[in-house]
């Protein structure tokens, strides 16, 4: 049986550190870090994520500003709100929950967020800074994965890393962060010729595609580190990842569960980024 990497526990430790640093920051600057979260429409999963972000903010001592907008909101109105938040000194971080309704151009919205307040690190200026290794913020989910790997005492240098999925939110930045830590990185996607063979090469395998139980035991090298970013429902409506946990956990050396693996880390890293944004604003 693989060693379980406990994301819940590690995320609580990170949130505890952010909370302590925040108290110190508030005492020294008189400024309370503030995160504005925008939700357009009423996607049930997004509503839960946004609620969890608000709870986490209050728990670490931040101000939380929630903007829940109807699904019909125009792109111009949404960008108008972002411009107001960009100019508001009590707001240090701005997050617009994705996906957005189809009539809104996600790129235009992400591009409207001030790069200094872009706690998702989705703005092209921040993406570029990550590429060259000179960044203020790292995207929350890949940063959370790196923290899980570090906390488990696993070194990435020289390891064969395979990332399955090439999204802008997870796959691409994940590959870059593993490269920064001197991993030898392969990115797999829907056109990859032999996914199973690529995955079997991996010392560190990160699955981020959104397909329930795509990664089966025959695709995993004995003793590999398996990180599951997926958050899906199986045929019985039960929460599951991209990895067939019960079979793969018999073969892997380390594995993250779903839930309780990567998920809680995303919010912990968002708290970390918001505190960083507040520090930047105050030249702290």
Question: 146 to each of 76, 158, 192, 210, how far by Cα in Å?
Answer: 36, 15, 24, 19
In angstroms, give the least distance from the CB of 114 to ligand GUN: 15
Q: Which residue is nearest to ligand GUN (CB)?
A: 98
The verdict on 120 binding ligand GUN (CB under 6 A) reads: yes
The verdict on 95 binding ligand GUN (CB under 6 A) reads: yes
DSSP-derived 3-state class of residue 162: strand
Pairing of strands 63-69, 34-40: parallel
The verdict on 96 binding ligand GUN (CB under 6 A) reads: yes
> Which one among 79, 98, 154, 280 touches ligand GUN, defined by CB under 6 A?
98
Residue 39: phi and psi, rounded to 5, are: -125, 125
Annotated active-site residue 53? The verdict is yes
In angstroms, give the least distance from the CB of 283 to ligand GUN: 26
Q: Where are the beta strands (DSSP E) in the chain?
A: 3-4, 34-40, 63-69, 93-96, 160-164, 184-188, 204-207, 225-228, 232-233, 239-240, 254-255
> Which one among 141, 249, 256, 273 touches ligand GUN, defined by CB under 6 A?
141
150 close to 156: Cβ distance less than 8 angstroms: no
263 close to 231: Cβ distance less than 8 angstroms: yes
In angstroms, give the least distance from the CB of 176 to ligand GUN: 16
Ranges within 237-276 binding ligand GUN (CB under 6 A): 266
Report the residue number, 97 or 249, with the smaller CB distance to ligand GUN. 97
Taking contact as CB under 6 A, which single stretch among the options 66-74, 95-103, 208-216, 257-265 is the one that binds ligand GUN? 95-103
192 close to 211: Cβ distance less than 8 angstroms: no
**What residues are annotated to the active site?**
53, 97, 120
Interface residues with ligand GUN (CB under 6 A) are 95-98, 120, 140-141, 169, 266
């Amino acid at each position: 049986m693989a060693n379980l990497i406990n994301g819940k526990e590690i995320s609580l430790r990170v949130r505890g550190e952010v909370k302590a640093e925040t108290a110190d920051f508030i005492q020294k600057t008189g400024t309370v870090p503030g995160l504005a979260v925008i939700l357009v429409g009423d996607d049930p999963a997004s509503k839960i994520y946004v609620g969890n972000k608000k709870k986490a903010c209050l728990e670490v001592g931040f101000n939380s500003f929630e903007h829940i907008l109807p699904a019909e909101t125009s792109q111009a109105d949404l960008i108008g709100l972002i411009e107001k938040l960009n100019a508001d000194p009590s707001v240090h971080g701005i997050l617009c929950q994705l996906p957005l309704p189809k009539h809104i151009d996600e790129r235009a919205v992400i591009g409207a967020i001030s790069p200094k307040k872009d706690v998702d690190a989705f703005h092209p200026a921040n993406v570029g800074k990550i590429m060259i290794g000179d960044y203020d913020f790292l995207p929350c989910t890949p940063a959370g994965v790196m923290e899980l790997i570090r906390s488990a005492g696993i070194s990435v240098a020289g390891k064969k890393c395979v990332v399955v999925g090439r999204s802008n939110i997870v796959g691409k930045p994940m590959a870059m962060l593993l490269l920064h830590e001197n991993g030898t990185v392969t990115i797999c996607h829907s056109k990859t010729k032999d996914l199973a063979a690529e995955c079997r090469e991996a010392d560190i395998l990160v699955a981020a595609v959104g397909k329930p139980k795509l990664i089966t035991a025959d695709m995993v090298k004995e003793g590999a580190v398996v990180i599951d970013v997926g958050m899906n429902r199986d045929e019985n409506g039960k929460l599951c990842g991209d990895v067939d946990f019960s079979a793969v956990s018999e073969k892997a050396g380390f594995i993250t569960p779903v839930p309780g693996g990567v998920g809680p880390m995303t919010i912990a890293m968002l708290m970390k980024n918001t505190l960083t944004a507040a520090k930047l604003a105050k030249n702290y």
